[in-house]
């Protein structure tokens, strides 16, 4: 037993079982224990059986057994044979342990007292004291075996040394040593004078002499008692312990080396007196009361109590709830709900009055550590406190001590604060992150659970918040322990670069929950655009449940302030197929604004089909200022149109777009117009009637072939496309497209109004002749949209065809007469149309006589052959007709004659 | 019974009651020991111990002192129960007939536990199990019972057939006092004659010795000697 000062011991008296089920006039008469069981005998002859279940801290009453009608005076545990001998009303009965079933062993009657002897190789030997004899017995099965029997008158108490070669017996007035080997009695001394007292014999092992000793009390007078010490040979071992003025230790004496604890009950009070066996001085005198909580054994003021206290030492240590640290180690949550500590201690000293039982046990070292901290806090000097070794403490106590150490280093502003703050046990951080947040971040952050012993310290904590330390703490704390408050605190106090760095560790950005929404709002308030985008990107990647919502928000944020740095992110989002049309379009425009090439490339290769309309709208919007967009817009429209060529709406939009684009400054630039004019000139040249190459190429085929080689290929492609669409619109849907008033659409007018003269003036002789025959323009050989469409041919009167053709022929002849070298054209015409539409005679009639016959040879040759053939046919027909007529005539005559 | 036997305490006979909480174990014991019934009886805490001298109605020589451990049915106390059925001769495993399914399930648990721990009995004789159907009065008053009598009988019979140490199924009502005396009568009647004979022979030999129990002990001893001090 250590003394930490002159007035206190490092021992506690703690409530053990203080709510016994006793009737009003029923008192505790004796107590004992066996393993996890506590047996409490009462003056009503009942034994209360308490048991400790592993899952609850306290002992629970499990049975109340009526043993006798008389008070239970002794419950003697026989641990080896698992029996218990119960003495009540001078009758001893044997029961089985631990439940106290009756053993069918004869009862022993007229017994003054019983005690357990420690005889070598004879465990569970019982010293039985009766008015006339002292017996040593053992239980063999259901038989009682008497090992020794000694005549001794009125033995009322006894104890033995260990091993028990000698026993000491007390009768009504004396102590005697009994040599059980030799049946000798050696009188010792009287233990009382005139005062009626009970003898007290307490055996113990003396650590200083390394032997078994026996303490024997003696009442000197009413106010004074002494204790003598003898060993197993009957020699006195140490001086006399004196209790002057305390009376007689009628509540018992136990030894807790090197101290003797004795209880003195008087009418006014009960007192625990602790004396040193080394100095033989009284160390502490403590008045006893109905302690409701654990109390240190220390000197105190007199307390009046009419209760009678007793103390007894157990053979084995008992595990009990350590209520002495409840005021420190209990935890309290925000609702004020307390959780008791699991801390247990062992004790082998019980103390009881008539109604309640306490234990005496060593002070839990955490109490001393706590007191040391409080002292250090008062003196602002934690040096000594931080030197204290806490490695031997039980888990809960160690955790508590680590909290204290953390507070100490925090208050001292030492460098190793985080070392303590981050200490971990199996279940995670020892110090709750919420508590650290409260201490480092300020009182606005509430902790949820705290040791009761720390509650006031923390409430009174006055240190300023240390936000930089807080951020370092959170960063160092494993992310699974980041509470919402911690994350909130970090983001609230972090710079953008810190936030972005923190994102790499923060795995809680996986759900668009309230907290993350709140954090994004925080970023917005703090204008942390990078953080906002990072937040949305992470959420977009991980929260599939809210992906569409996040995508929308993300797209809007990106659209608001898109930089080249986030182009890739934006394109990824655009390609995710998760955005609404509105969000998609908005973001797409921004992407194009920031990086046109990337935007166009995206639309070409990665955009989902469902956004075609949007893409078109976007590109249309932009096409005024950029040829690329104009073409892209047309491409997107074509993509839609080719999927549904019957869709007139898209058809019209496509035609309109192409037409508009054609004449837009981006496509129809000055250079492009020059190319067009050049192409016209080239066409005129190549199609010259003076050249003998027939048939002449149509304008559209010429554009199709020669336009590709020009710098303004785009224009010519659009030109052809627009023509095809206009042509189909007219011939398929019977509608005339009103072309823009631009020279590029000059030729387009021929679709609805195929004017031969104008075609001839355009030098498209081929199509002029076609119009003459079928009254409509021919499409070029290469088409873009309707390769198989053939318009319905209208029936044209041959006379009209002839007239139209003759008109063309006259045009050629006129040129000839103007001395243009158009003989090949005339040659072509007469050779082509003399057979099908115009008779050679008619042609010959209008060909000037001066026209060189050389160009008509083939025509005339065919005409003559045809004439001869016709003449021959006529002659044959005549001959045949004539012959037939003659035959019929002859046949008629024959018929008449018959 | 001889005069001497009359003066000898009847042999003790340990019985333990097991079963789900609130099946009526304590009521059964009260009806048997004091012929009383209290609807509002409190839950047993841990265990209660009651003794009752009982003489067979059919054979007055069959007289025993029943030592009855009435255990708590609550789950909390299950870990303690083995110490109460240790060395018991008979276990009465109770089933609430008005709440058959769950209490029957618990009964099966206790049967298994007894079989597992039978070896702890001092005389190595397996504990005899009587299945006790309690609260029969409630079953009779039920218009639509959860389980039919036939089904109960079927399940009980299956259980009995699969466990050799189940002796019998008894239907009781502590409230109406039916079936309980018959139960204990059955137990007493079924006790081996040898049990009584060996008990009384032993007690007789001890009583014959002058000086009563202590005298018997003294005579039996060899080593002890009278001290002179």
Give me the residue spans of the domains in chain B: 3-191
Residues in chain A with pLDDT values less than 50: 1-5
Tell me if A26 is assigned to some domain.
Answer: no
Q: Is some CB atom of chain B closer than 8 A to the CB atom of A344?
A: no
C-beta atoms of A150 and B47 within 8 A: no
- Greater confidence (B36 vs A588) lies with B36
C-beta atoms of A148 and B14 within 8 A: no
* Residue B130 main-chain phi, psi, to 5 deg: -115, 125
Residue A137 CB partners (closer than 8 Å, separation 6+): A125, A126, A128, A144, A145, A146, A147
Residue A379 CB partners (closer than 8 Å, separation 6+): none
Chain length of chain B: 229
C-beta atoms of A99 and B227 within 8 A: no
Of B72, B80, B217, the CB nearest to A146: B217
Using CB atoms and an 8 Å cut-off, which of residues 176-205 of chain B contact chain A?
none
**b/e per residue, A55-70, with b = 16+ CB within 10 A?**
eebebbbbbbbebbee
Q: Is some CB atom of chain A closer than 8 A to the CB atom of B225?
A: yes
Cα–Cα distances in angstroms (integers) from residue A235 to residues A158, A171, A185, A444, A469, in the given order? 18, 20, 15, 72, 69
Which pLDDT belongs to residue A656? 87
C-beta atoms of B14 and A101 within 8 A: yes
- Greater confidence (B7 vs A539) lies with A539
Q: Is some CB atom of chain A closer than 8 A to the CB atom of B42?
A: no
Q: Is some CB atom of chain B closer than 8 A to the CB atom of A49?
A: yes
pLDDT per residue as tens digits for the range B171-224:
999 999 999 999 999 999 999 999 999 888 888 777 655 444 444 444 444 444
Cα gap B171→B68, rounded to integer Å: 19
Residue of B nearest to A21 (CA): B45
Cα gap A554→A546, rounded to integer Å: 12
Range of the domain at A755: 713-851
CB A235 within 8 A of CB A161: no
Using CB atoms and an 8 Å cut-off, which of residues 48-67 of chain B contact chain A?
48-49, 67
Find the DSSP H helices in A338-394: 365-379, 383-386
Domain boundary among A454, A483, A512: A483
- Greater confidence (B98 vs B213) lies with B98
CA diameter of chain A? 201
Strands B12-19 and B63-71, sheet pairing: parallel
Which pLDDT belongs to residue A294? 83
CB A29 within 8 A of CB A89: no
Cα gap A123→A294, rounded to integer Å: 36
Domain boundary among A421, A453, A483: A483
Which pLDDT belongs to residue B121? 55
How far does the CA of residue A250 sit from the closest CA of chain B (Å)? 29
C-beta atoms of A183 and B229 within 8 A: yes
Q: Is some CB atom of chain A closer than 8 A to the CB atom of B122?
A: no
Tell me if A459 is assigned to some domain.
Answer: yes
Contact list, B53 vs chain A (CB under 8 Å): none
Q: Is some CB atom of chain B closer than 8 A to the CB atom of A568?
A: no
C-beta atoms of B45 and A63 within 8 A: yes
Query: Other CB atoms closer than 10 Å to residue A739's CB: what's the count?
Result: 21
What is the sign, positive or negative, of the torsion defined by CA atoms of A869, A873, A879, A883? positive
Which pLDDT belongs to residue A51? 94
Which pLDDT belongs to residue B127? 92
Mutual angle of helices A581-594 and A547-560, in 10-degree steps: 30
Domain boundary among A452, A483, A514: A483
Q: Is some CB atom of chain B closer than 8 A to the CB atom of A151?
A: yes
Q: Is some CB atom of chain B closer than 8 A to the CB atom of A148?
A: yes
Tell me if A241 is assigned to some domain.
Answer: no
Cα gap A657→B115, rounded to integer Å: 94
Of B79, B83, B217, the CB nearest to A144: B217
C-beta atoms of A150 and B227 within 8 A: yes
Which pLDDT belongs to residue B161? 92
Which pLDDT belongs to residue A614? 77
Residue of B nearest to A153 (CA): B229
Contact list, B48 vs chain A (CB under 8 Å): 63-64
C-beta atoms of B217 and A183 within 8 A: no
pLDDT per residue as tens digits for the range A568-595:
888 888 888 888 887 888 788 888 878 8
Using CB atoms and an 8 Å cut-off, which of residues 50-89 of chain A contact chain B?
51, 53, 60-65
Q: Is some CB atom of chain B closer than 8 A to the CB atom of A142?
A: no
Q: Is some CB atom of chain A closer than 8 A to the CB atom of B217?
A: yes
Tell me if A768 is assigned to some domain.
Answer: yes
How far does the CA of residue A476 sit from the closest CA of chain B (Å)? 44
Q: Is some CB atom of chain B closer than 8 A to the CB atom of A761?
A: no
Cα gap B32→B22, rounded to integer Å: 17
Q: Is some CB atom of chain A closer than 8 A to the CB atom of B13?
A: no
Q: Is some CB atom of chain B closer than 8 A to the CB atom of A168?
A: no
Cα gap A756→A772, rounded to integer Å: 7
Cα gap A104→B55, rounded to integer Å: 20
Rounded to the nearest angstrom, the gap between the alpha carbon of residue A364 and the centroid of all alpha carbons in its chain is 40
Of A65, A99, A135, the CB nearest to B83: A99
| Interface TM-score (ipTM) > 0.85 | no
C-beta atoms of B48 and A49 within 8 A: no
Q: How many domains is chain A built from?
A: 2
Strand order in the sheet with A157-160: A157-160, A166-170, A174-179, A184-190
C-beta atoms of B227 and A149 within 8 A: yes
Tell me if A432 is assigned to some domain.
Answer: yes
C-beta atoms of B48 and A63 within 8 A: yes
CB A159 within 8 A of CB A76: no
Of B46, B220, B229, the CB nearest to A150: B229
**A–B: how many Cβ contacts below 8 A?**
94
* Residue A260 main-chain phi, psi, to 5 deg: -110, 130
Which pLDDT belongs to residue A898? 64
Which pLDDT belongs to residue A787? 84
Residue A782 CB partners (closer than 8 Å, separation 6+): A701, A704, A720
Mutual angle of helices A514-525 and A529-542, in 10-degree steps: 160
Alpha-carbon radius of gyration of chain A: 61
What would be the CATH architecture of the domain defined by B3-191? 3-Layer(aba) Sandwich (3.40)
The token duo for B222 is: 């060899």
Q: Is some CB atom of chain A closer than 8 A to the CB atom of B215?
A: no
How far does the CA of residue B59 sit from the closest CA of chain A (Å)? 24
Q: Is some CB atom of chain A closer than 8 A to the CB atom of B115?
A: no
């Amino acid at each position: 037993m250590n003394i930490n000062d002159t007035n206190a011991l490092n021992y506690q008296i703690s409530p053990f079982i203080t709510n016994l089920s006793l009737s009003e006039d029923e008192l505790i008469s004796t107590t004992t224990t066996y393993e996890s069981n506590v047996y409490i005998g009462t003056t009503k002859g009942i034994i209360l059986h308490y048991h400790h279940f592993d899952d609850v801290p306290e002992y629970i009453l499990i049975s109340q057994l009526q043993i006798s009608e008389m008070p239970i005076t002794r419950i003697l545990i026989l641990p080896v044979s698992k029996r218990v001998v119960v003495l009540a009303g001078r009758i001893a009965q044997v029961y089985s342990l631990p439940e106290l079933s009756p053993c069918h062993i004869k009862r022993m009657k007229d017994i003054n007292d019983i005690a357990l002897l420690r005889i070598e190789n004879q465990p569970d030997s019982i010293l039985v004291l009766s008015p006339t004899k002292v017996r040593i017995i053992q239980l063999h099965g259901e038989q009682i075996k008497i090992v020794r029997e000694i005549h001794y008158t009125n033995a009322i108490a006894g104890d033995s040394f260990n091993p028990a070669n000698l026993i000491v017996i007390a009768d009504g007035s004396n102590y005697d040593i009994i040599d059980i080997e030799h049946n000798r009695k050696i009188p010792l001394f009287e233990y009382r004078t005139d005062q009626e007292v009970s003898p007290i014999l307490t055996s113990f092992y003396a650590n200083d002499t390394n032997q078994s000793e026996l303490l024997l009390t003696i009442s000197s007078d009413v106010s004074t008692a002494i204790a003598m010490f003898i060993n197993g040979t009957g020699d006195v071992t140490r001086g006399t312990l004196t209790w002057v003025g305390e009376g007689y230790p009628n509540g018992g004496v136990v030894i807790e080396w090197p101290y003797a604890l004795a209880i003195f009950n008087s009418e006014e009070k009960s007192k625990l007196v602790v004396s040193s066996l080394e100095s033989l001085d009284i160390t502490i005198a403590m008045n006893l009361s109905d302690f409701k909580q654990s109390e240190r054994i220390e000197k105190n003021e007199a307390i009046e109590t009419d209760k009678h206290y007793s103390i007894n030492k157990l053979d084995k240590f008992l595990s009990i709830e350590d209520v002495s640290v409840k005021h420190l180690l209990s935890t309290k949550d925000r609702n004020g709900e307390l959780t008791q500590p699991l801390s247990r201690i062992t004790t082998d000293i019980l103390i009881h009055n008539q109604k309640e039982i306490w234990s005496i046990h060593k002070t839990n070292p955490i109490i001393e550590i706590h007191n040391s901290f409080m002292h250090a806090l008062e003196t602002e000097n934690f040096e000594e406190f931080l030197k204290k070794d806490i490695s031997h403490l039980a888990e809960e106590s160690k955790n508590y001590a680590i909290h204290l150490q953390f507070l100490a280093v925090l208050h001292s502003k030492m460098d190793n604060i985080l070392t303590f703050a981050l200490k971990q046990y199996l279940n995670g951080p020892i110090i709750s992150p919420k508590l650290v947040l409260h201490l480092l971040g300020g009182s606005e952050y509430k902790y949820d659970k705290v040791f009761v012993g720390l509650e006031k310290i923390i409430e009174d904590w006055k240190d300023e918040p240390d936000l930089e330390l807080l951020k370092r703490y959170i960063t160092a704390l494993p992310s699974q322990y980041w509470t919402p408050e911690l994350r909130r605190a970090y983001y609230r106090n972090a710079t953008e670069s810190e936030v972005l760095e923190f994102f790499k560790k923060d795995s809680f950005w996986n759900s668009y929950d309230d907290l993350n929404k709140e954090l994004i709002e925080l970023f917005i308030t703090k204008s942390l655009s990078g953080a906002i985008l990072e937040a949305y990107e992470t959420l977009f990647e991980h929260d599939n449940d809210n992906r569409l919502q996040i995508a929308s928000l993300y797209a809007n944020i990106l659209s608001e302030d898109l930089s080249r740095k986030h182009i890739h992110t934006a394109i990824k989002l655009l390609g995710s197929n998760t955005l609404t049309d509105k969000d998609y379009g908005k973001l797409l425009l921004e992407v194009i604004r920031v990086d046109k090439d990337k935007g166009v490339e995206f639309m070409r290769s990665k955009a989902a089909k469902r956004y075609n309309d949007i893409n078109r709208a976007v590109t249309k919007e932009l096409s005024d200022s950029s040829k690329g967009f104009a073409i892209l817009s047309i491409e997107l429209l074509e993509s839609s149109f080719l999927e549904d060529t019957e869709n007139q709406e898209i058809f019209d939009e496509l035609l309109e777009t192409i037409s508009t684009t054609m004449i837009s400054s981006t496509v129809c630039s000055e250079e492009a117009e020059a190319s067009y004019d050049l192409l016209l000139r080239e066409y005129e040249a190549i199609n010259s009637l003076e050249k003998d190459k027939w048939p002449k190429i149509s304008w559209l085929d010429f554009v199709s072939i020669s336009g590709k080689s020009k710098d303004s290929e785009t224009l010519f492609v659009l030109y052809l496309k627009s023509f095809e669409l206009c042509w189909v619109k007219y011939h398929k849907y019977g509608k005339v497209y009103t072309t823009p008033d631009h020279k590029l659409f000059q030729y387009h007018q021929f679709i609805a109004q195929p004017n031969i003269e104008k075609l001839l003036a355009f030098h498209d002789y081929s199509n002029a002749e076609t119009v003459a025959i079928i009254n409509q323009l021919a499409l070029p050989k290469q088409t873009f949209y309707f390769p198989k469409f053939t318009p319905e041919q209208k029936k044209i009167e041959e006379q009209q065809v002839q007239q139209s053709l003759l008109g063309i022929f006259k045009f050629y002849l006129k040129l000839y007469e103007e001395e243009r070298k158009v003989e090949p054209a005339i040659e072509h015409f007469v050779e082509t149309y003399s057979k099908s539409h115009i008779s050679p005679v008619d042609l010959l009639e209008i060909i000037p006589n001066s026209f060189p016959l050389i160009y008509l040879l083939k025509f005339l040759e065919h005409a003559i052959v045809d004439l001869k053939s016709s003449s021959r046919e006529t002659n044959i027909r005549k001959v045949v007709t004539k012959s037939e007529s003659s035959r019929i005539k002859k046949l008629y005559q024959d018929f008449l004659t018959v | 019974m001889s005069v001497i036997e009359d003066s000898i305490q009847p042999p003790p006979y340990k019985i333990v009651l097991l079963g789900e909480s609130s099946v009526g174990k304590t009521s059964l014991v009260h009806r048997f020991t004091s012929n009383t019934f209290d609807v509002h009886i409190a839950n047993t805490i841990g265990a209660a111990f009651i003794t009752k001298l009982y003489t067979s109605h059919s054979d007055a020589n069959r007289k025993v002192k029943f030592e009855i451990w009435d255990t708590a049915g609550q789950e909390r106390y299950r870990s303690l129960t083995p110490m109460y059925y240790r060395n018991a001769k008979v276990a009465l495993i109770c089933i609430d007939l008005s709440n058959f399914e769950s209490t029957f399930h618990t009964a099966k648990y206790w049967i298994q536990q007894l079989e597992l721990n039978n070896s702890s009995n001092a005389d190595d004789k397996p504990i005899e199990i009587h299945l006790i159907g309690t609260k029969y009065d409630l079953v009779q008053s039920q218009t639509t019972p959860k389980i039919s009598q036939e089904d109960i009988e079927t399940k009980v019979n299956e259980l009995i057939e699969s466990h050799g140490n189940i002796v019998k199924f008894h239907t009781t009502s502590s409230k109406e006092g039916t079936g309980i005396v018959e139960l204990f009568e059955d137990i007493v009647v079924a006790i081996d004659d040898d049990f009584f004979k060996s008990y009384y022979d032993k007690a007789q030999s001890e009583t014959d010795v002058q000086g009563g129990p202590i005298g018997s002990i003294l005579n039996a001893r060899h080593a002890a000697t009278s001290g002179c001090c």
